[in-house]
């Protein structure tokens, strides 16, 4: 489900109507620029539309006819056929850059010029507008030689412009350390089947081959010949929308994305920055009616490549949004249809839900093409990774510990998840941001990242009947009302919008988005990813009970007939780490701060320190995840996991093994313990514990947290050999994390001092404690000597990097790239 202005890729306009028919002729022209357009193109194929163009089949050249009428238009580039690697992040259907541009004549050249939309003067005074335009740089994107002309009509060769690396593919391959690639012109050409013309948009496409020396594993895993990578890029020239759309002012409490620009014509007493929400144009046929049909509905089209039953689940989930539009006063305003046969997914006229294949499971995302002048969404572009369903199926196998030919209960979970996923990503393309506080409001929004709600029946059995919600959420309805409600004439829109927000607040609906939820050092007690429940602490305790039952149940029953027993290891991973996201949620309660996006004049909470008892409860829940019994695996399960069968290998979704081919039980323990301690002993969290304790002595300080941690790990007696072995692993993890905290440059001086004193105390404890066995004796001796040597020169003695946990969230793509792509999920 990365700060995300993640649904915004700013550009443009819905075009209507059907493609124009092509005429044809042959012969290759060769004419000087003094020739007329008719003479130069006499032997070419002409296609009329928004921009008339001519195709020279003999030379694979495309010429564009330009009428210098001063018109601005939108230019959007995208990726029609991708690479297929999550980690590289160049997917089929991915939107790229967008900009308002115009053609300008300079001597015997036409320049494609991009005016600066970030700095403007919205004024009736042309001199004021001109002064701002001249104060900030514009950008000339390309220069074209004029090859023919008629009066004010000019002909340019567009071919090189289309055959360039418009999507910065070479840069992305280099950034992800896959190699240095460049376009090979001899293996690149225009892709004529997808070059099309319509009355309001002209579409171009090119096949590009990038050649280079592959150095990364990702590109070698997806390209048949990794020294030659062939993709297709798409280009859209689009008519700008008319001026009848009315922008809606942004409110940080609304849940919407926004566009912004600086308006230098603004009065001095007002903010220079103007912010509008991003939304589709939607108008009632009868604005005076409380509920009305619409002039033009918002229609999304589903990729025909999505198979059944996936196709129906995606359509059903996306269609949930009509519930919200109905609540906002629109009848049948949101529709989902199958993409017409022959239609192109990158055609700007179609809001798309694409089914995208990659080599590994990865993020899905919702991006939008938006008019940068007003915030009007012109095209929604959803990309759903196809391999996510297989991960969901694997999770269902583990939870239910079954695999049958019918797979009814397993597929029920998968399809429920897909409905929610489709609704989520479409929500981004409607302009709506993540709401990571919704899980605390009984799953009040599809814009949260939902963890499956797995329950235990009264008989103690696993129950998945309510794993995912089945409708749009209350917060989603409130957000759509804010963004899309069409008010009757004479209504004070600002007051009416504020009342929508106040009503949602009175109903207890919370809204916290990416910036405050994604970071490991987050402080908000209810803003988390992949979590559940009104209380992060209570939900962690509940999930640990579910996890215990799942691990006791897990066996080879979850494998299909003919599958190697060693594949049980991959099913075990998400079951053993079933609590991984709830750990993070509970950790944010410790040293946490409650707050909202309040504005002056509203009645929302500004800030409040958390109840100390709630923080201690969260600490105890986290410490419970470190107890040997919580980290142990049933012996009957361990004996069912042999080394990997021939043809099967461990991968990034397996536990790292230090025991060769044998499943490494203790590395799994170390991985789980490291997760809990990393979040608990985060430097910024430790800083807050110290600061809040200074401000309020009732707040748990860092010293208290560390004392409770040590009392229930290091100083808790245990004579069971297996449990004690696990306890030693946890104790080492505690020491290493304390050392990392001591030298962390983000840690305040008091944090460093308290941590160093704790390490000294641990060294003394090891020296004074009488070991009951040789393993403990060796353990205490090594810990004390290591601490003493390390404290002599903190940081100079290094430790191996923590074991990398198997991938949990969708694989691949760094946060910056996800922000570039749009809102990821």
The beta-strand segments (E) located in 240-319 are 258-263, 273-277, 279-280, 298-302
Tell me, yes or no, whether 445 lies in a domain: no
pLDDT, residue 247, reads: 97
Distances in whole angstroms, Cα of residue 802 to Cα of each of 574, 660, 689: 19, 18, 25
Q: At residue 354, does pLDDT exceed 70?
A: yes
pLDDT, residue 34, reads: 63
Angle, vertex CA 52, rays to CA 51 and CA 53, nearest 5? 110
State the pLDDT confidence band at 377, using cuts at 50, 70 and 90: very high
Report whether 446 contacts 421 (CB < 8 A).
no
pLDDT, residue 151, reads: 84
Average pLDDT rounded to a whole number, residues 794-820: 69
State the pLDDT confidence band at 95, using cuts at 50, 70 and 90: confident
Tell me, yes or no, whether 130 lies in a domain: yes
Average pLDDT, the chain: 91
pLDDT above 70 coverage of the chain, percent:
94
Average pLDDT rounded to a whole number, residues 677-704: 98
Strand partners, 102: 113
pLDDT, residue 801, reads: 85
Distances in whole angstroms, Cα of residue 10 to Cα of each of 113, 193, 510, 822: 17, 27, 28, 10
DSSP category for residue 761 = H
CA distance 520 to 684: 9
- 147 in helix, strand or coil? strand
pLDDT, residue 14, reads: 33
CA distance 291 to 705: 56
Q: List the domain range (segments joined by +) for residue 64.
A: 37-236
Tell me, yes or no, whether 385 lies in a domain: no
- Give the pLDDT confidence of 241-290 residue by residue, as tens digits: 999 999 999 999 999 999 999 999 999 999 999 999 999 999 999 999 99
For residue 451, give the nearest of 528, 384, 381 by alpha carbon: 528
- Give the pLDDT confidence of 529-546 residue by residue, as tens digits: 999 999 999 999 999 999
CA distance 81 to 370: 22
pLDDT, residue 389, reads: 87
Q: At residue 593, does pLDDT exceed 70?
A: yes
Scanning 183-274, the segments in alpha helix (DSSP H) are 217-222
What the block records as the tokens of 614 is: 């709630």
DSSP category for residue 331 = S
- Give the pLDDT confidence of 196-216 residue by residue, as tens digits: 999 899 999 999 999 999 999
Average pLDDT rounded to a whole number, residues 304-324: 97
- Give the pLDDT confidence of 22-80 residue by residue, as tens digits: 443 333 334 445 689 999 999 999 999 999 999 999 999 999 999 987 789 999 999 99
Report whether 355 contacts 310 (CB < 8 A).
yes
pLDDT, residue 16, reads: 37
pLDDT, residue 796, reads: 80
Strand partners, 150: 153
pLDDT, residue 33, reads: 57
Phi and psi at residue 767, to the nearest 5°: -70, -30
Tell me, yes or no, whether 626 lies in a domain: no
Radius of gyration of the chain (CA): 30
Say which residues have a Cβ less than 8 Å from residue 312's Cβ, sequence separation at least 6: none
For residue 165, give the nearest of 90, 85, 221, 53 by alpha carbon: 90
pLDDT, residue 756, reads: 97
What the block records as the tokens of 595 is: 């707050």
Q: At residue 685, does pLDDT exceed 70?
A: yes
Tell me, yes or no, whether 668 lies in a domain: no
Q: At residue 580, does pLDDT exceed 80?
A: yes
Tally of structural domains, the chain: 1
Tell me, yes or no, whether 175 lies in a domain: yes
Output 687 or 653, whichever has higher pLDDT. Answer: 687
pLDDT, residue 5, reads: 38
- Give the pLDDT confidence of 388-440 residue by residue, as tens digits: 888 899 999 999 998 876 778 999 999 999 999 999 999 999 999 999 999 99
pLDDT, residue 405, reads: 64
Tell me, yes or no, whether 669 lies in a domain: no
């Amino acid at each position: 489900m990365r700060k995300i202005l993640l649904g915004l890729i700013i550009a443009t306009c819905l075009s209507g109507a059907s493609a124009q028919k092509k005429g044809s002729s042959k012969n290759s022209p060769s004419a000087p620029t003094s020739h007329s357009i008719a003479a130069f193109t006499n032997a070419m194929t002409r296609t009329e539309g928004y921009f008339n163009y001519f195709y020279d089949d003999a030379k694979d050249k495309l010429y564009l006819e330009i009428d210098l009428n001063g018109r601005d238009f939108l230019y959007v580039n995208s990726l029609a056929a991708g690479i297929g690697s999550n980690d590289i992040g160049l997917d089929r259907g991915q939107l790229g850059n967008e900009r308002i541009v115009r053609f300008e004549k300079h001597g015997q050249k036409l320049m494609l010029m991009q005016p600066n939309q970030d700095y403007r003067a919205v004024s009736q005074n042309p001199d004021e507008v001109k002064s701002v335009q001249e104060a900030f740089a514009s950008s000339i994107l390309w220069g074209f030689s004029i090859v023919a002309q008629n009066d004010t009509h000019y002909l340019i060769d567009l071919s090189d412009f289309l055959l360039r690396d418009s999507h910065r593919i070479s840069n992305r391959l280099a950034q992800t350390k896959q190699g240095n690639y460049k376009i090979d012109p001899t293996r690149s050409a225009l892709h004529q089947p997808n070059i099309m013309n319509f009355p309001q948009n002209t579409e171009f496409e090119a096949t590009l081959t990038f050649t280079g020396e592959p150095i990364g594993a990702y590109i070698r895993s997806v390209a048949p010949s990794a020294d030659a990578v062939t993709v297709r890029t798409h280009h859209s020239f689009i008519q700008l929308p008319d001026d009848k759309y009315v922008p809606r002012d942004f409110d940080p409490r609304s849940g919407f994305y926004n566009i912004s620009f600086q308006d230098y014509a603004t009065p001095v007493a007002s903010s220079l920055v103007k912010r509008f929400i991003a939304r589709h144009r939607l108008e009632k046929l009868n604005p005076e009616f409380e509920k009305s049909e619409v002039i033009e509905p918002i229609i999304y089209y589903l990729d025909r490549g999505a198979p059944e039953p996936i196709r129906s689940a995606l359509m059903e989930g996306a269609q949930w949004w009509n519930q919200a539009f109905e609540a906002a006063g629109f009848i049948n305003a949101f529709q989902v249809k199958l993409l017409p046969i022959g239609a192109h997914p990158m055609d700007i006229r179609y809001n798309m839900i694409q089914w995208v294949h990659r080599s590994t499971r990865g993020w899905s995302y919702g991006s939008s093409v938006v008019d940068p002048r007003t915030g009007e969404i012109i095209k929604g572009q959803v990309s759903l990774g196809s391999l996510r369903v297989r991960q969901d199926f694997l999770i269902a196998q583990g939870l239910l510990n079954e695999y049958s030919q019918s797979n009814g209960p397993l597929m029920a979970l998968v399809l429920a998840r897909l409905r929610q996923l489709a609704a989520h990503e479409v929500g981004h393309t409607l302009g709506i941001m993540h709401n990571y506080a919704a899980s605390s409001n009984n799953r009040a929004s599809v814009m949260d990242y939902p963890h499956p709600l797995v329950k235990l029946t009264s008989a103690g059995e696993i129950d998945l009947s309510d794993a995912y919600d089945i409708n749009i959420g209350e917060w989603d309805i409130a957000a759509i009302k804010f963004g899309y409600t069409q008010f009757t004439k004479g209504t004070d829109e600002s007051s009416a919008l504020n009342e929508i927000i106040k009503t949602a607040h009175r109903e207890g609906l919370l809204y916290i988005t990416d910036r405050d939820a994604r970071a490991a050092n987050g402080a908000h007690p209810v803003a988390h990813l992949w979590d559940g429940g009104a209380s992060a602490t209570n939900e962690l305790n509940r999930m640990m009970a579910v996890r215990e039952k799942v691990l006791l149940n897990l066996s080879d029953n979850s494998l299909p007939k003919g599958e190697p027993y060693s594949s049980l290891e991959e099913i075990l991973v998400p079951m053993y780490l079933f609590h991984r996201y709830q750990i993070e949620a509970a950790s944010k309660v410790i040293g946490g701060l409650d707050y909202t996006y309040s504005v002056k004049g509203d009645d929302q909470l500004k800030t409040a320190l958390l109840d100390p008892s709630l923080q201690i409860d969260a600490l105890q829940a986290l410490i419970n995840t470190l107890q040997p019994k919580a980290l142990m695996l049933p012996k009957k399960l361990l004996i069912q996991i042999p080394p990997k069968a021939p043809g099967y290998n461990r991968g990034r979704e397996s536990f790292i093994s230090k025991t060769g081919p044998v499943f490494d039980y203790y590395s799994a323990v170390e991985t789980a313990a490291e997760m809990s301690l990393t979040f608990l002993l985060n430097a910024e969290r430790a800083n807050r514990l110290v600061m809040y304790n200074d401000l309020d002595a009732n707040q748990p300080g860092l010293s208290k947290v560390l004392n409770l941690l040590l009392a229930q790990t290091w100083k808790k007696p245990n004579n069971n050999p297996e449990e004690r072995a696990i306890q030693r692993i946890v104790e080492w993890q505690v020491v290493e994390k304390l050392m990392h905290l001591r030298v962390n440059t983000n840690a305040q001086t008091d944090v460093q001092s308290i941590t160093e004193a704790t390490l000294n105390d641990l060294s003394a404890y090891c020296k004074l404690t009488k070991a009951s066995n040789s393993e403990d004796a060796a353990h205490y001796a090594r810990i004390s000597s290591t601490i003493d040597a390390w404290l002599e020169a903190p940081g100079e003695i290094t430790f191996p990097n923590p074991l990398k946990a198997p991938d949990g969230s969708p694989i691949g793509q760094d946060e910056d790239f996800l922000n570039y792509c749009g809102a990821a999920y």
